[in-house]
Structure 1
């Protein structure tokens, strides 16, 4: 007896279109297919269920949090086709789900995203939600988001500190176009502006808070990143052999742009041991996060006087 050959993803998709009926059916099918595929999760979701709900609801023009409300509703054939098309792209092309739906949530806000910018996921979100306590004793008047990408960190800071003026700086004009779209979408254009800048080159005056999620992936990590990361701009990820090409410059220049009571917050991810070893004189305060993440330090302006 000849053993049955496993169905291809295309065949499985056609079977789903022909035989499945409800929203819940399609969510379950998407979870099964993504689990079996071994794809990487880590761009706003960390499991196949969240990815499945995001893709299915997007295909149906529903909000992601409305899935339970409509779970038993029957879908049209065209709707099932749209869902399987998204799931196949997620699996076959390894495109992160936020790029497929054009949106990512950060600090409770929806941001437009595409392959011109990193998908928002920095653990700095927890510090923003805590208003950077205890390091900021007063409400900041001027905030700088350096290497802003989509603008998510700086805009989230603007939401937490409604009296602050916020500047978003980035080298990439493509990224700045996305950041500007998010400024308009979230209606903060009266207090937030995006400028093209090579690190601090377009900065003006001094800031009470400088926050940065710069490129920090070292050469070894770049060589073994999951395929999903290769849809993100390399300019926003790669930073030389030790992952610190930009951070070295940032540390040397930051003090002149901070007020005397100012605070510097920077994410360096897996490159944190190399950074700590390179600057033993700096009292880095490495943060711990309830929702995961690592490699974020806090320094006060006075800490940088030794550089």
Structure 2
């Protein structure tokens, strides 16, 4: 039996469940191992290979989530900051949400992997999370999900209703531009040019009034163009104005890898910025600086300034 064709979608499923790309890959490997060991007991009359693998993956995820704290972003932990000069002290004790590197796997449903939705999923109890993703995203029938979770169809339907009710504040994802949307590309390209020119007024003109800027693993976030602009001025004062940015995608959203100048004359990978673009304006920028997160995007650590 060949399970490899399902690896990408299983990684995406486990990522939605756990909010961690690293853990998702590990759990899919565990799923594949369990499936291989149980291959002689697989009954094709009961379920397809894909449905059977999701049953195993769901059990693996639910076990992994037992006793786990949810993975948040800074904006889910408290009020926004009002001092862009606040020290940027990482909180290494918080299991931060991680981005999903789109280039690593060919996943069909990327709209359902947007950061805002994955963050919202983390607020749900684990079984509600599983039912919502299996039914709404992956389009399994209620009967299939009941079999995967060893429960009944009425129980699945009831759990789905509770999960939907809990996510009513997520908003309409249809208004959010995807990474390959021409309008979104134009906005992010303009942001790239303004950033490389260290032009703060030009950056601010691309932002929505209530824009959110957050920077895990720093438990600090800002709201509004005034604070955003003040923080960017601080960045250029501290790290210089000689930056290079590279386009990529994460969670089905446009993203930029930012390289800051170093004393040796080259540029070193500084951060990954994941943008939410709505109505032709940037409404959120999540800036990831954790080296472990950056490694998942297979980016060069160092590029020449020439």
| TM-score in terms of structure 1 length | 0.26
Higher relative contact order, structure no. (Cα contacts within 8 Å, ≥ 6 residues apart): 2
How high is the TM-score relative to the length of structure 2? 0.26
Larger Rg belongs to: 1
